Copies of this chain bind each other. A is one copy, B any other.
Amino acid sequence: MAAVDLTTHPGHLARRLQQAHYLLWNTMVSEEITSPQFAVLNALVAEPGLDQRTVGERVGLDRSTIAEVISRLGRRGLLDKVRDPQDGRRSLLRPTDDGLRTHRKLAVRTARMNQVFLAPLSAAEQAQFFDLIRRVSDAAEGLRNPAEPLVPQG
Contacts and interface: CB of A to CB of B under 8 A. Distances in A.
Contacts of A116: 143
Interface stretch (A12-20, A68-76, A78-86): A12-20
Contact of A107 (B2, B21, B24, B103): B2
Contact of A120 (B19, B107, B125, B135): B135
Contacts of A135: 120-121
A133 B10 CA distance: 9
A7 to B, nearest CB: 7
A24 B139 CA distance: 11
Interface string A95-117: 00000000110010011001011
B60 A130 contact: no
A14 B12 contact: no
A111 to B, nearest CB: 8
Nearest to A59: B6
Contact of A10 (B1, B103, B114, B136): B114
A137 B16 contact: yes
B114 A20 contact: no
Which interface residue of A19, A20, A35 has the most chain B CB atoms within 10 A? A20
Contact of A128 (B23, B128, B140, B143): B128
Interface of A: 1-4, 6-21, 23-25, 35-36, 39, 42-43, 45-46, 59-60, 103-104, 107, 110-111, 114, 116-121, 125, 128-130, 132-141, 143-144
7 pairs of A and B residues whose beta carbons are closest in the complex: A20-B140, A3-B46, A11-B21, A120-B139, A14-B18, A14-B17, A3-B45
